[in-house]
Amino acid sequence: MKLDKNFFSENIKTLFYALIIAVIIRSFLVQPFYIPSSSMEPTLLVGDRLFVTKYSYGYSRHSFPFSPPVLKKRIMFSSPKRGDVIVFKTPADNRTDYIKRLIGIPGDRIQFKDGNLYLNNNEILKSKIINKTKIYCGNRTIDVHKFEENLDNGKKFHTVYLKDYTYQNSDVFKVPEDHYFFLGDNRDCSKDSRFLTSVGYVHKDNLVGKAQFIFFSSDKKIGNMFAFWKWHKSIRFNRTLNRIN
């Protein structure tokens, strides 16, 4: 069989156009992310794969692969809301992706008192759902209490705390202009804005996008994707297409 002399050049063009389309979709519309840690349990589990919308808060250089210096500041900006689950680049290196829940917006004052979270001198109300349950913290399991927290804008979500509230008291965190304060839902097992040297306050230009829904989830502790005979146990079918609250 004789191949057309343009066969290879046409296929290279097709691959090139497909790559361009993929970059455009990833930069301007949606990007998939994988959850590697337990800092957002019970909302997000290790092994969750989710879609993040890139257009939710406008665009910055971090909207593009490898964060090229194509934009000096965020354009088409739309302010995020308290309670949003957001992917952002850590201020420490402007390269690592973190996903946390937005708690403080510019001008807010945040403080922990006796293990309770206060926003602008008002305690964020939480009601206990489960008195004692187990949850992951890295490779170990910990005993926690599960709560439903309620922000002042009506946003409700689930969080977990160790029984003895290891993060008891803090100084007041004053969120600077154009910055945001994030917490993990797994409150005693999360590196977030409470740790100023590693994460701290996140500038609006570092926002990548809003987490919207889980499109696939699997438990790698049971088996990897090649162990098809374990799929009925490792794949979390009940989490497929779940919206992220």
| Catalytic center residues | 39, 100
Which residues have C-beta within 8 Å of that of residue 243, sequence separation ≥ 6? 212, 213
Q: Which two tokens stand for residue 142?
A: 């910990």
Cα distance between residue 129 and residue 149, in whole Å? 10
For tokens 């992310």, what's the residue?
33
Cβ pair 111, 173 in contact under 8 A: yes
DSSP tally for the chain: helices H, then strands E: 2, 14
For residue 50, the surrounding DSSP H or E stretch is: strand 48-53
**Opening angle at CA 98, ends 169 and 51, nearest 5:** 130
**Opening angle at CA 35, ends 226 and 115, nearest 5:** 140
Cβ pair 101, 117 in contact under 8 A: no
Cβ pair 137, 185 in contact under 8 A: no
Cα distance between residue 226 and residue 114, in whole Å? 47
Cβ pair 200, 183 in contact under 8 A: no
Give the strand order in the sheet containing 156-162: 125-137, 140-150, 156-162
